[in-house]
Structure 1
Amino acid sequence: MTERPFYREGALRMQETLRTRRLADHIAGKYVTDYLDETAAAMLRRADCFYLATADADGYPDCSYKGGLPGFVQVPHPGLLRFPSYDGNGMFRSLGNILDNPRIGMLFIDYDKPIKLRVNGTADVSTDSGLLASFPEADAVVEVRVRQVFENCPRYLHDVRVGQYSDHVPRPHHAPPDPDWKLKDEYQGLVRLRNS
């Protein structure tokens, strides 16, 4: 099977328009993996929720929130993760979409660090009793073969613990600071700094 490029035509057009191609290539080359390293796996195992993006057979997207106790996302090995489907409203939009179109995206957020981690992959839905035994009260289990793992800049995350907006969000009479990652030597010549 031919490997799909990380950036498709639309992303490349925007990178050209906004002059971020060199930055985007640097990030993709250095930080995008096709497996969950131990740091990413540990974050998933600690997670008590994530957001799941699916699309139906015609490509129409849907997004849902999935929650549980820490440990409800399992990482049996770096290329595979599992999560339960608990009793819900019976619509099964996400699971139905996976049956029709197995390509999914997942967004995990750790507000304490803060970190946003994206995991893209190919999913299967199982009602196998052996898998269900690992997830009490689950109706089904989703197994995801990992295709891409990468962090996103967390600067616009609001602090939900104390109800404070991110200092990086633009607003009148406020000069947002440069994010710490842009100050690293590896990004010299690849990013514009506001406060230089």
Structure 2
Amino acid sequence: MSNRYARLMFGRSALERQQADGSYSVYGATTERDDDGPDHLDEREIALLGSVFQFHLATVTAGGHPYIQYRSGPRGFLHHLGDNTIGFADFHGNAQFVSVGNIDDNGRVAMFVADYPRKIRLKLFGRATVVDAADDPDLLARLVTVGDTRIAARAERSIVITIEAFDWNCSRSLVPQYDRDYVRALNRAHSAETEELRTRIADLERLVTGS
């Protein structure tokens, strides 16, 4: 991984606290060398991004405040568009346009993506662009398509993000959460295993009784 994350995230005060705490050699020391350039999305990052049905997106308001918005859709709604670029369809909402307005003014964004059952989380930082439907209908058509299915919700624009840096967090303190589909899959697996055991028990009982 490059030192781009450290250069983007560690300000003077953070570095000073790292030095006082003794963690500077692990984290801040990487900022002493020239910028390595953007982190590159690899198979691990792409696999997680393509599997989630939710994430949180942070943008920057005109006054400098962070604005966090929850985004969701069917698994696969967050697309890898090649290289370090990802994107998703922006669906009809409450018409406040806070996130898209922030992106228009200042493209800096952060994303928090988590796989709660496996206690995996990834933070990503990049530059986003809003592409209205009329400006690139083919792109929007691609982003509203998941596998062989088109998302039914009304999509108005595309959000395209070029990732500059990311960081995998440890699993500590991340509470596992299970969605309905995950629980259903577990129940199906358990039901199949139970049925197999019942069949084996019945076969053994027939062997013992000779019937």
Q: 1:88 aligns with which of 93, 102, 109?
A: 93
| Distance change >3 Å, CA 26–CA 74, structure 1 → 2 | farther
Q: Work out which of the residue numbers 109, 118, 133 in structure 2 matches 1:104.
A: 109
Map 1:1-196 to 2 at 5 A.
5-6=7-8, 7-25=10-28, 34-127=39-132, 128-134=136-142, 135=144, 136=151, 137-161=154-178
- In 1: Cα distance, 2:21 partner to 2:83 partner: 34
Structure 1 gap segments, 5+ residues each: 163-196
| Partner in structure 1 of residue 189 of structure 2 | none
Task: Point out the structure with the larger helix share.
Answer: 2
Flag as ranges the 4+ runs of structure 1 deviating above 6 A.
Answer: 26-29
Deviation at 1:27, TM superposition (A): 8.6
Q: Does structure 1 conserve the Cα–Cα contact (< 8 Å) formed by 2:90 and 2:157?
A: yes
Q: Offset at 1:107?
A: 0.6
Instruction: Report if aligned partners of 1:121, 1:147 keep a CA contact under 8 Å in 2.
Output: yes
After superposition, the CA RMSD in angstroms is 2.4
Question: Take 1:139 and 1:95, find their aligned partners in 2: how far apart are those partners?
Answer: 11
- SS, match of residue 27 in structure 2: helix
Name the CA shift for 1:87/1:109 in 2 (closer, same or farther; >3 Å).
Answer: same
TM-score when normalising by structure 2: 0.68
Contact 1:33 1:150 in 2 (8 A): no
Q: Retained in 2: the 8 A contact 1:50–1:65? A: yes
Higher mean C-alpha deviation, range 96-105 or range 18-27 = 18-27
Counterpart of 2:140, as a letter, is L
Q: How far did residue 80 of structure 1 move?
A: 0.3
Q: Distance in 2 between matches of 1:119 and 1:15?
A: 22
Identity value in percent: 30
Q: Distance in 1 between matches of 2:50 and 2:131?
A: 20
Displacement after TM superposition at 1:38 (Å): 0.8
Give the CA deviation at 1:10: 2.5
Distance 1:57 1:35 in 2: 29
- How big is the shift at 1:161? 2.9
Residues 37-69 of structure 1 deviation map (CA, whole Å, 9 limit, x = unaligned): 111001000010100010023312110100011
Q: Judge conservation of contact 1:74–1:83 (CA < 8 Å) in 2.
A: yes
Compute the TM-score of the two structures, normalised by the length of structure 1.
0.73
